[in-house]
Amino acid sequence: MSMKLCFGMSLDSTYYAWQLVQRIGFKEPAISEEVVLDYLHLGIEYFLGSRFFTEDCQDDEDTPGNTGQLPLLDNELYRQSSKLPKKKPPKPIDAALRGNTVWVDCEFPRERQRAATCHEVGHKVIPWHQDLSYVKDGCIIDPTTSNFGREHKRCEEEANRFSAHLLMPRPFFLEDMNSLPFGIEALEILARHYATSIESAAIHYVSLTTFSCALVMVEALPESVITENGSWLRVRYSKGNPFFDHFIRPGAEIAPDTAIAQASLMSPGTIHTDEASGWVLGLRPERRLILHCRPWGKEGDVLVLVEEPRGNQGRLF
Ligand SMILES: [Zn+2]
């Protein structure tokens, strides 16, 4: 990959997001992705992931009758996928960038489509992304961006950060964030205001706040999995900010008699806040944490905003 870099050019992908916000002249959220696409003369097309990436599609090559039901029959993405080796169905993607057209899976929630669209805009705008060839085959906007090579992973993270900073411009977001008390209610209000998912708002919030805190996304284990301590939950991923000097390990199991496990059984939208010892998240037991929990995502999954009370880190005076 050749890097089209010039002297004095910013290496921070979020710089290009803010530059775009200013050039278009957005004065407040929510940022309209349609306006962004228009400004950059980019088109948008939609595909249906469930039809595109199922095993059925793989058998369709020689039976055009089957593909007749597919609204994507004539699009290049579909034709490409039907040429792939049959044994391995293509990986589901959120979006792809082909020439001046952004392709988006329209079966995902609206907020995720917006994030995916702006992720592709990032590949178009960030100077050293302009020769990336994989974007035509698609991107997955999962915050864990696993299973990629290092270079690929770095570019995907940059595009994700670009997308977050385009939809939630830092100067706007900081002002709104600082006007609200710390907690999950703030995440809900910000997500509504910026038309993003609560998860995206939470990642952004944790990265920008000066409170020592972390976001922990907890997932329910498949029912077939039996654990030693009767746990049915594990950490999918965590993102702490620089003030939070612990690492919450992905895969860590959550014990059944904890605030997080209780929240996983509550109805969607319930916020459950409790104090806990660090052991709940695999940290040192003497660490006191405040866990703000809210069922989010598929059934049993929990979004946890972990707050470290001030004074917990050892006093300077
Ligand atoms: Zn990408």
Report CA(245)–ligand 1 centroid distance (Å): 29
Report CA(123)–ligand 1 centroid distance (Å): 7
256-276 pLDDT per residue, tens: 999 999 999 999 899 999 999
Report CA(112)–ligand 1 centroid distance (Å): 14
Report CA(135)–ligand 1 centroid distance (Å): 6
Report CA(130)–ligand 1 centroid distance (Å): 11
Is the pLDDT reported for residue 317 higher than 50? no
SS3 letters across 295-306: ECCCCCCEEEEE
Q: What pLDDT does residue 131 have?
A: 86
Name the pLDDT band for 155 (thresholds 50, 70, 90).
Answer: very high
Rounded distance between C-alpha atoms, residue 292 and residue 260, angstroms: 9
Interval 290-312 mean pLDDT: 92
In order, the DSSP letters of 84-110 are S-TTSPPPP-SEEEETTEEEEETTS-H
**Helices and strands (H and E) in the chain: how many:** 12, 9
Report CA(95)–ligand 1 centroid distance (Å): 8
Q: What pLDDT does residue 113 have?
A: 97
Q: What pLDDT does residue 150 have?
A: 87
Report CA(58)–ligand 1 centroid distance (Å): 24
Is the pLDDT reported for residue 65 higher than 50? no
C-beta separation of 212 from 307 below 8 A: yes
* Inter-CA distances, 63 with 56, 57, 67, 134, 143, Å: 11, 10, 7, 28, 37
Report CA(28)–ligand 1 centroid distance (Å): 26
Rounded distance between C-alpha atoms, residue 14 and residue 282, angstroms: 33
Please report, for the chain, the start and end positions of each structural domain, with discontinuous segments joined by +.
13-167, 210-307
Greater pLDDT, 19 or 144? 19
C-beta separation of 254 from 238 below 8 A: no
Report CA(154)–ligand 1 centroid distance (Å): 10
CA dihedral (67, 134, 95, 146) positive or negative:
positive
Report CA(167)–ligand 1 centroid distance (Å): 16
User: Which tokens sit at 271?
Assistant: 């916020």
pTM for the model stands at 0.85
Name the pLDDT band for 34 (thresholds 50, 70, 90).
Answer: very high
Report CA(24)–ligand 1 centroid distance (Å): 23
b/e 33-60 (16+ beta carbons within 10 angstroms → b): beebbeeeebebeebebebbbeeebbeb
Rounded distance between C-alpha atoms, residue 204 and residue 305, angstroms: 12
Report CA(301)–ligand 1 centroid distance (Å): 26
- DSSP summary character for residue 54: S
User: Which tokens sit at 228?
Assistant: 């030693």
* Mean pLDDT for all residues in the chain: 86
Domain boundaries 210-307, CATH class: alpha beta
Name the pLDDT band for 58 (thresholds 50, 70, 90).
Answer: very low
- Please give the torsion angle defined by the CA atoms of residues 202, 106, 77 and 144, in that order, rounded to the nearest 10 degrees: 20
Is the pLDDT reported for residue 64 higher than 80? no
Report CA(159)–ligand 1 centroid distance (Å): 6
Query: Residue 200: which of 89, 129, 108, 101 has the closest Cα?
Result: 108
Report CA(140)–ligand 1 centroid distance (Å): 7
